Structure formats: structure tokens, C-alpha cells
Amino acid sequence: MKVIPIAKQAIQLSKKKRTKYCYQKLKMCKKCNRYSVLKEEECPTCGLTFVGIESIVHSIFRNRLFTEAIRILILVCIGIVAAPTVKTLYLSLITGVIFVSSYIILTVTFMKSEYFMVLKKLLRADFRKIQAGIQFDSNLAKEDVKAGKLAPAYDKLREIGDFIYSDQVKIRRVMVLNDIVLRRDMELELESLIPSSYDKDFVKYALEILKINRPLFTKKCIAYFIQYRDAIVRDFGIDSLIAVAGTALRMKLYIQEFSDFIEEFLEYFPKDRFLRLCNILYSNPDAKWGSLEEKAKRLVAIKYHYDPDFKRFVS
């Protein structure tokens, strides 16, 4: 039976929501008592507007300040009422004023660290609730995938990926991306999606990225391809490894780091790639290239000695 490949969806991915800290994306529906990390402003269950974690922390902080201020005020009042003489009355009044002002000064001075203390306490206390909320978000993404709504599905999985670094989330994102027509102008990621073991879907995605956005193919990605090279050759052929070795020629540092790997595929590189390598080797004669330099020289002598582009490398 012939398997007909399903056509990829041509869609526009939205830009990622950026915050200084990851936790700032957390929000809560006060009615459903459920957290969410998605971009949506309203709760999908009840329609109520989400309250951001920072507002929750601020209100806890405000309430605490208010309670403490009332307590101090009561203490001062008791002091004044219970004062037997006018002198002690003044004394408790002055003590009260000093007490309140130092309380205000201390609170203002330590406001930021106090704020983070309250936040930490809240995150710890609501840990299970946050987990359940992210699970709910994750189910929404699953439903989107089932309904073929890939753009919102990817959007959700990307936000979830900021909180959960598991292979499962990474691969779910990659699988959605593999069903989309990828373009260079899209806000794509690669390094953050590398799983902890060999995964065919990830390699398929990485090879697509190699075609449209080479700079995303970083050192870590090249190292992943080297680590799982046997499986990759089995599933995607040797050309995929040659292409990855070719991308390592982008930077002098990468060439040094992966010189053995590059050396293996030297004769398979297209002329422009090999010329680029020769240029780098030639302009950095003092760098340590190992046997790569020798092998490149030999290849120039055998294959390119008549080529005018390689004239200056022929010794």
C-alpha cells in the first residue's frame, strides 16, 4: 500500500510572548481556581479574565501590610488608653510614632525581597495547582492538534515548553512543526528542542531548519547529529550528515571543535563550501587544525589544482 504524505499546513506562527522572568507568564482564574501559562487573557472555561501572578502577589503583600499596620495601630491605641499619667501618654504616643515610621522605612527598604519571599511562598504552596493548570493547558493543545488547528496548538506548546523541559513536550512541539510549511521569517527554535535521546521527528525537523535557517544550527545540534550518527544515516541517509558537516564550516570555532567530523566528509562538500574551508584554514595558519589541514591540502592538490579559485592554496 502506498502511503500518501499529508500536505503541510501553510500558516503564520505568532510571536512568542516575552517576559523578564518565566513566572510572570503564570496567571489564574479566580472562579475556576486554576492556573494557566497560555497567552489567552480569558479563562476558556468560564470566560473570566485571568489575574496575573504578580497582581496576586501584590494583593497578598498589600493585605499583609494592612494587617500589620492595623496591629501596630491597635497596640499604640492601647498604650494611649492605658496610660496612667499624661507623661506616659506622651511617651506611648512618641513610641508609637517611632514604631510606625521605622516600620514604614523597613518595609520600603526591603519591599523587593519581601515581594519575592511572598512569591516564593505562593509558588511553593500552589505547586500542585500550577501543575494541574499546565496539564489542563496541555490538554487544550492536544485538542487543537486533533482539530488540525496547528498554529494555536504550537503557540500553546511553546508557552508550556517554558515551564516544562521534558522530552515529551519538546517532541510534541517538533511534531506540530513537522506538519507546518516552515519559513525563514518564522520565530523558530532548535537548540531548546533537542531531546535527551535519539528521536526521528526531531532529526527531521532539524534537517528542515538546516535548509531554511542555518544560524539556528548551533554547536549543540551538530554534537547531537554526531552522537546519533548511525541512527541518522539509517533513517535519513548519509547526505544528511554531509549537510551537517557542511554547516559546521560556518565558523572557525566550529571547524576546530568538529575537525574530525568535517574531515570525514571533505571530498563530498560542494566546491563553495570547500573553498570557504580553505579560506579559513589559509587565513589562520597559526590555529591548530590537526590532520584537517593536511587532508584539505591533499584534496586541493588532487581535485582542484587546475581551478583558478584555489590557485593561492596550491603549494
Site string for Zn ion, 46-85 (x = CB under 5 A): x-x-------------------------------------
Residue 75 C-beta-side C-alpha neighbours within 13 Å = 13
In terms of CB distance, is 53 or 169 closer to Zn ion?
A: 53
DSSP for 51-89, written as a single string:
EEHHHHHHHHHHHHHHHHHHHHHHHHHHHHHT-SSHHHH
Burial grade of 177 (CB within 10 A; 0-12, 13-18, 19 or more)? buried
In whole angstroms, the minimum distance from the beta carbon of 26 to Zn ion comes to 15
In terms of CB distance, is 41 or 187 closer to Zn ion?
A: 41
213 contact partners, CB below 8 Å, separation of at least 6: 184, 188
In whole angstroms, the minimum distance from the beta carbon of 137 to Zn ion comes to 13
In whole angstroms, the minimum distance from the beta carbon of 126 to Zn ion comes to 16
In whole angstroms, the minimum distance from the beta carbon of 36 to Zn ion comes to 9
209 binds Zn ion (CB under 5 A): no
In whole angstroms, the minimum distance from the beta carbon of 129 to Zn ion comes to 13
**With DSSP H G I counted as helix, E B as strand and the rest as coil, what are the percentages for the chain, rounded to 5?**
65, 5, 30
Q: How many CB atoms lie within 10 A of CB 58?
A: 14
Between residue 179 and residue 208, which ones bind Zn ion under the rule CB under 5 A? none
In whole angstroms, the minimum distance from the beta carbon of 30 to Zn ion comes to 8
Site string for Zn ion, 123-162 (x = CB under 5 A): ----------------------------------------
Size of the site for Zn ion (CB under 5 A): 7
- Grid coordinates of 133: 493548570
129 contact partners, CB below 8 Å, separation of at least 6: 33, 34, 35
In whole angstroms, the minimum distance from the beta carbon of 167 to Zn ion comes to 31
162: phi then psi, degrees, rounded to nearest 5: -75, -20
Q: How many CB atoms lie within 10 A of CB 156?
A: 28
In terms of CB distance, is 47 or 84 closer to Zn ion?
A: 47
CA distances from 111 to 103, 105, 215 (A): 11, 10, 43
Site string for Zn ion, 91-110 (x = CB under 5 A): --------------------
288 contact partners, CB below 8 Å, separation of at least 6: 256
Site string for Zn ion, 13-52 (x = CB under 5 A): ----------------x-xx----------x-xx-x----
In terms of CB distance, is 29 or 194 closer to Zn ion?
A: 29
Q: Which residues bind Zn ion (CB under 5 A)?
A: 29, 31-32, 43, 45-46, 48
